[in-house]
Amino acid sequence: MDIDVEGVEQRVFTGVLPAWDRVEEAVQDAHRRESSATGGTVADYIPALAEADPGLFGVCVVETDGQVHAAGDVEAEFSIQSVSKVLTYALASDAVGHDVIAERIGVNSTGQSFDSVMAIELNGGHTMNPMVNAGAIATTALLPGGNADERWEILHDALSRFAGRRLELDEDVYRSETEHNQRNMAIARLLESYGRLDVDPLEIVDVYTKQCSLRVTARDLAVMGATLADGGVNPVTDQHVVSPEACTATLAVMATSGLYERSGEWLFEIGIPGKSGVSGGILAVVPGKAGIGVYSPPLDDAGNSVRGQRALAYLSRVLGLNLFASAPRAGGGSREGDPDAAVDSRTTND
């Protein structure tokens, strides 16, 4: 895409969240409203995932200043699964640069399922975006490291810095996924055949499987989201994890491709960058304001948490988080004759 903005500084205007008590009340209300919601099924294509308790449900918001709002099972651990893709993409963006990763991985939706082989073939062997398995495997292959062990250690350490604590590998999930990841191995071999991988494809699949098997909580996801919301600085540890430029690129891809083939509906209805995983977690980001983590194992037929989507839709509306929400200025009227007016009298974020 030729947009000719080299040397033009990216400016940022994000606003603020409502007062602390309003956010706290909204989080508690979101959990209370959706606790009794039914529908969806727990993922069972990987045996270890099928063991999840369908009744678990947690909602957590972490503001960019480190304040935490939590309700429900926010400390229940589960494997991060596809939510890890956004973090790996941010790390790869820093490692190889914006232009390289845009060309090598792509940023457009596939319109296909997350493990589609057809999407690769239809695009001449090119991955379309990092939020589906083919693109995520290719993204992991761009991370630094002389071999698979080094690459995993670098990745494990970085994902832990996103969470603000040392994350542990779920050995049962890792073993279960390794025994059932023939499709991912086939995807990696296909990418290799098109010259899209520069390293051993099966070693990269192993690293990718490990990253998906790290244990996290809804609170961890919220901290990770707040890190992306605040230009790559973890609000709990105050540690710089990735660059602001990597965060910008990651949030854009999350917004357009983070909810599998339902990504368009997500953006239309909820209006904030998000990424789901088949274990039931969703990480959402309100740029400059907060990260949100939700967890509830029952999924819709696209692989997205049913309760999680409903809770996030509620929070988006009552807290004014939708990036595309628009309303007339309070009092109406024309700005004619006031060309320098920069701030109106809207009070939606009070």
User: Is the model more confident about 107 or about 130?
Assistant: 130
> Which pLDDT value is given to residue 187?
86
Measured between alpha carbons, how far is 190 from 115 in angstroms, rounded to an integer? 13
Q: Helix 133-140 vs helix 98-105: angle between axes, to the nearest 10 degrees? A: 140
Residue 148 domain flag: yes
- pLDDT tens digits, residue range 69-122? 999 999 999 999 999 999 999 999 999 998 888 777 776 665 455 555 555 544
The confidence band for 332, taking pLDDT boundaries of 50, 70 and 90, is low
Please check whether residue 328 lies inside any domain of the structure.
no
Is 295 tagged catalytic? no
Which band of pLDDT confidence, cut at 50, 70 and 90, is reported for residue 235? very high
Is 314 annotated as belonging to a binding site?
A: no
234 belongs to an annotated ligand binding site: no
Q: Return the closest-CA partner of residue 109 out of 256, 1, 251, 248.
A: 256
66 versus 257: the higher-pLDDT residue is 66
Give the 3-state secondary structure of residue 281.
strand
Does 265 map to a domain? Answer: yes
Flag whether 89 is marked binding.
no
- Token pair, residue 174, equals 């890792």
Other residues' Cβ atoms within 10 Å of the Cβ of residue 341: 9
Strand order in the sheet with 290-295: 68-72, 58-63, 290-295, 281-286, 274-276
Give Rg (Cα) of the chain. Answer: 20
Q: Is 69 in contact with 219 (CB distance < 8 Å)?
A: no
In a domain, 174, yes or no: yes
When comparing pLDDT for 155 and 116, which is higher? 155
Residue 194's pLDDT band (boundaries 50, 70, 90)? Answer: confident
Residue with tokens 């063991």, as numbered in its chain: 51
* Torsion angle of the four alpha carbons 305, 79, 235, 27, in this order, in degrees rounded to the nearest 10: 30
- Largest distance between two CA atoms of the chain: 69
The tokens for 103 are: 């060309």
Active-site hit among 89, 174, 208, 314? 208
Look at residue 279 in the predicted model and tell me its pLDDT: 97
pLDDT of amino acid 339? 42
242 lies in some domain: yes
Please report, for the domain that includes residue 91, its CATH number.
3.40.710.10
- Known active-site residue 314: no
For residue 238, pLDDT beyond 90: yes
Catalytic residue among 62, 107, 278, 285: 278
Q: What is the pLDDT of residue 4?
A: 66
Helix (DSSP H) and strand (DSSP E) numbers for the chain:
13, 7
- Total domains in the fold of the chain: 1
Catalytic residue among 79, 213, 233, 260: 260
Closest CA to 307 of 320, 318, 295, 319: 295
The upper half-sphere exposure of residue 173, i.e. CA atoms within 13 Å in the direction of its Cβ, equals 25
208 is in an annotated binding site: yes
Please check the confidence at residue 51 and state whether its pLDDT lies above 70.
yes
Output the pLDDT for position 119: 54
- Mean pLDDT on 11-22: 88
pLDDT digits (tens, 9 = 90+) for 307-329: 999 999 999 999 999 999 988 88
Mean pLDDT of 281-307: 97
Q: Has 260 been annotated as catalytic?
A: yes
Which residue type occupies 192?
E
Range of the domain at 48: 20-319
Domain contains 6:
no
Domain assignment of residue 340, yes or no: no
% of the chain surpassing 90 pLDDT: 68
Is 343 inside a domain boundary?
A: no
Instruction: Give the per-residue pLDDT at 53.
Output: 97
Which of 82, 116, 279, 296 is flagged as catalytic? 82
- The chain-wide mean pLDDT, for the chain, equals 88
- Strand 78-79 versus strand 215-216 pairing type: antiparallel
The pLDDT tens digits for 201-219 are: 999 999 999 999 999 999 9
Reply yes or no on whether 208 is catalytic: yes
Distance from C-alpha of 51 to C-alpha of 347, rounded to nearest angstrom: 46
Tell me: the pLDDT tens digits for 93-104? 999 998 888 777
